[in-house]
Amino acid sequence: MNTSLTPPEMRLDNQICFAIHSAAHAFAQAYKPLLEPLGLTYPQYLVMLLLWEKDDRSVSELGAPLFLDSGTLTPLLKRLQTQGLINRNRDAKDERVMRITLTEAGKALAEKAAGIPTAMLCAMKGDLGHLTTLRDQVKALGQALRTPA
């Protein structure tokens, strides 16, 4: 007989934070085989998505939507530059600002990555409407947690 002395609100399986953490881990594992042929890690993929959406951004413009500071982004960006996917240059108007632009190879990689969202949709085995609603709910939850009470 396995009787827990832990109240339900203190059990790991009842924690929404753990459910989201576990799902985030599962996402990283699901993306890995899709990104490895492109030579990208999941965080690098997120940066590339932003640059494919709008090229020529500052480090802070990349960091804000990803909730990453420049200290976390800089090593990641240096690796993307070493791979020949981006250029890092000082802003002509303000040398304190580092501008990130796609190289031709970085632009071309977008075509190779184009099938990833569909592959992930299939891996999630859900319908688009349900997954869109879930995404919006998780985004709202994150926003609520970032907003001071």
Res 1: pLDDT? 59
Asked whether the beta carbons of 57 and 49 are under 8 A apart, the reply is: no
Distance CA 85, CA 120 (A): 23
Whole-number Cα distances in Å, 91 to 73, 112, 126, 148: 17, 30, 44, 34
Set out the domains of the chain in order of their start, with CATH numbers: 38-114 (1.10.10.10)
Element (H, E) at 86: strand 86-90
Residue 2 has pLDDT above 70, yes or no: no
Distance CA 74, CA 88 (A): 10
Q: What is the mean pLDDT of residues 80-101?
A: 93
Res 48: pLDDT? 98
Copy the structure tokens of residue 117. Answer: 């969202």
Four-residue CA torsion sign, 21, 77, 66, 48: negative
Res 108: pLDDT? 98
Res 69: pLDDT? 92
Distance CA 129, CA 149 (A): 31
Asked whether the beta carbons of 38 and 106 are under 8 A apart, the reply is: no
Res 91: pLDDT? 85
